[in-house]
Amino acid sequence: MLKRFSISLDEDLLEDFDLFIRQRRYENRSEAIRDLIRKSFVKDEWAADKDVMGVISLVYDHHQHQLQEKVTEQQHDHHHLIVSTTHVHMDHDNCLEVIIVRGKARDVQELADQLISLRGVRDGKLAMSSTGKHLH
Ligand code: NI
């Protein structure tokens, strides 16, 4: 369930934030804030730089200009992180892409961030699990 809350920001900080949003191609402030909160939650994992396995899932409209190409290009750029990719044509417009990834938590998170923030991605998630390699 989505809940709304309001945020008060200094005008200059808000301008910087809106610039950040445009540069990262976010659709709106809420989506950018959600991603920033999520990023902060995984920061501890990054610090440890654990080996993880994860699943990135993306729902997107394949009619969005060059989106399919961008999704594929990002994966080729990070092919060393990718174990497997499954593409499902959900309906006439929408695709579901499920990408199984393995690598350092930081690298996996960055790849997921880049994919999820692409314009036209309607839903994006990263589920991260530790391989347990460094558990004591
Ligand atoms: Ni498709």
- What pLDDT score does 47 carry? 54
* Percent of residues, the chain, with pLDDT higher than 90: 71
How far does residue 88's CA lie from ligand 1's centre (Å)?
6
List, as ranges, residues with CB under 5 A of the ion ligand 1.
89, 95
- What pLDDT score does 118 carry? 94
Give residues with Cβ within 8 angstroms of 135, minimum separation 6.
none
Q: Which CATH class is domain 51-130?
A: alpha beta
Order of strands across the sheet that contains 82-89: 82-89, 94-104, 51-61, 121-130
- What pLDDT score does 44 carry? 60
How far does residue 34's CA lie from ligand 1's centre (Å)?
26
Q: What angle do CA 126, 128, 130 make, to 5 degrees?
A: 170
Distance (Å, whole) CA 130 – CA 25? 30
Reported as a single tens digit per residue, the pLDDT across 6-42 is: 999 999 999 999 999 999 999 899 999 988 888 777 6
Q: Is the separation of the CB atoms in 95 and 36 below 8 Å?
A: no
- What pLDDT score does 39 carry? 78
How far does residue 126's CA lie from ligand 1's centre (Å)?
20
Q: Is the separation of the CB atoms in 72 and 105 below 8 Å?
A: no
How far does residue 116's CA lie from ligand 1's centre (Å)?
16
SS (H, E, C) the chain: CCCCCCCCCCHHHHHHHHHHHHHCCCCCHHHHHHHHHHHHHCHHHHHHCCEEEEEEEEEEECCCCCHHHHHHHHHHHCHHHEEEEEEEECCCCEEEEEEEEEEEHHHHHHHHHHHHCCCCEEEEEEEEEECCCCCC
Give residues with Cβ within 8 angstroms of 131, minimum separation 6.
51, 52, 53, 102
0.85 exceeded by the pTM?
no
How far does residue 110's CA lie from ligand 1's centre (Å)?
24
- What pLDDT score does 133 carry? 54
What does pLDDT average to in each consecutive run of 10 residues of the chain (136 residues)?
91 94 92 86 64 93 92 96 97 96 90 94 89 49
